[in-house]
Amino acid sequence: FTRIEYEPDGTPVLSVSDCFITRIGRPASGNKATEFHINPYFGSHAAGLQSGTDKLPAFDRKRPDQHVASIWHGREYISGQPFYAFPSWWCSRDWIELANLIAPFHISGLKNGYNIKYVIKVPKDYFDKEGGRTLDPKEVQKKWADWTQKMSDWLAGTDNVNKALIVRYLRGDDGKALDAIDVVPLKNENSDDAYSKVWEMANIGITNAVGILPVLGGVTPGSKSGDSGSQIRVVANYQQSYRTPVHRKIILEPINFALRAMGYTDVVRLFKDVQLTTLDAAPSGTQPAVNANTA
């Protein structure tokens, strides 16, 4: 969103109206935006929306000097989106959600253990008696609860790695051990490689959705990335030349208008490109490029 204000001498002054605080006002009829609302509380405090909302008319391209201040809405027009542009990240919304779940999963896994680590076998009637006295059900239940909590505190968590558990038991008349607590460790089948592949796929999907080639986003490590110097150079030049024209044109539109309004009809508006080269072609590794993305 670009805010266009006219000085008393007719000079247009451009400034950015942040997209987080700018909304299209409800159209009186049809799908044409005629007004924009600006409020820093959009999306947060409902109380703040009741007052303090600035309302500015939409910029009229047919009558540009109709309003002293107005909002220019630059966007890529897509079928089915009559008001706002289509956020490119929507295409990777599921991948973003997945990527955000991986880190908390590993944090929890490292703190608490990815899988069940031990099977602890205890005779069902282990706490039924104390000495020669049979305990009532409530006392038995409390002993089970206390013992379970102590075992969890002893074996779980990052502070309890590789702990040993000593269990005392009784032997019968035949010299064999009577029923007692039996702690059986389980094999951890967790594979970090599987999660790494999911993480890599998620990042590739996210960067592609927002229009950045994965190699430039640094999210394709390893031999599959094509991350040699020559390959990165080719990809960077391709990204600059073929994936930016539409976005550059949208950004330049209000600037072009302002220049024409001030009488600068012979000024060329463009983004300055830098073409990456080999060091033998240019000691700095770069050279000026002919810019075709003008508006």
Per-residue pLDDT of 89-133, as tens digits, reads 788 888 888 888 888 887 777 776 666 677 777 777 777 877 778
Of 163, 185, 207, the one marking the end of a domain is 185
DSSP class per residue in 117-157: -EEEE--TTTTSEETTEEPPHHHHHHHHHHHHHHHHHHHSS
The average confidence (pLDDT) of the chain is: 78
Whether 279 and 197 map to the same domain: the answer is: yes
**Domain-embedded: residue 76:** yes
Of 162, 185, 208, the one marking the end of a domain is 185
Rg of the chain in Å (alpha carbons): 33
Domain count, the chain: 3
pLDDT top residue among 243 and 166:
243
Contacts 24+ apart (CB under 8 A), 224-232: 230/278
Whether 173 and 196 map to the same domain: the answer is: no
The rounded distance, in Å, linking the Cα atoms of 194 and 200 is 10
Q: Buried b vs exposed e over 198-234: b needs ≥16 C-beta within 10 Å?
A: ebbebbbbbbbbeebbbbbeebbeeeebebeeeebbe
Q: What is the mean pLDDT of residues 219-241?
A: 69
Could you tell me if 100 and 174 are in contact, meaning their C-beta atoms sit under 8 angstroms apart?
Answer: no
**Domain-embedded: residue 13:** yes
Convert the pLDDT of each residue in 164-208 to its tens digit.
666 666 666 776 766 667 777 667 665 556 677 777 888 888 887
Give first-to-last CA distance, the chain, whole Å.
18
pTM above 0.75, yes or no: no
Of 185, 204, 236, the one marking the end of a domain is 185
**Domain-embedded: residue 197:** yes
**Domain-embedded: residue 293:** no
In the sheet that holds 54-57, the strands lie side by side as 22-24, 35-38, 54-57
Whether 203 and 159 map to the same domain: the answer is: no
Residue 67 predicted with pLDDT over 70: yes
Q: Buried b vs exposed e over 4-36: b needs ≥16 C-beta within 10 Å?
A: bebeeeeebeeeebeeebbbbbeeeeeeebebb
Q: Can you give the length of the chain in residues?
A: 295
Question: By C-alpha distance, which of 247, 245, 246, 255 is closest to 292?
Answer: 245
Whether 210 and 176 map to the same domain: the answer is: no
Convert the pLDDT of each residue in 127-163 to its tens digit.
787 777 888 888 888 888 888 888 777 776 656 555 5
Whether 175 and 209 map to the same domain: the answer is: no
Most confident of 75-84, 171-180, 217-226: 75-84
**Domain-embedded: residue 258:** yes
**Domain-embedded: residue 27:** yes
Whether 82 and 50 map to the same domain: the answer is: yes
Whether 181 and 205 map to the same domain: the answer is: no
Could you tell me if 16 and 2 are in contact, meaning their C-beta atoms sit under 8 angstroms apart?
Answer: yes
Question: By C-alpha distance, which of 56, 26, 53, 27 is closest to 42?
Answer: 53
**Domain-embedded: residue 270:** yes
Structural domain of 21: 1-86
Residue 64 predicted with pLDDT over 70: yes
**Domain-embedded: residue 111:** no
pLDDT top residue among 64 and 50:
64
Percent of the chain clearing pLDDT 90 (strictly above): 9
- Within the chain, residue ranges assigned H as helices are 46-49, 93-112, 137-155, 192-209, 214-217, 229-242, 245-261
Whether 181 and 218 map to the same domain: the answer is: no
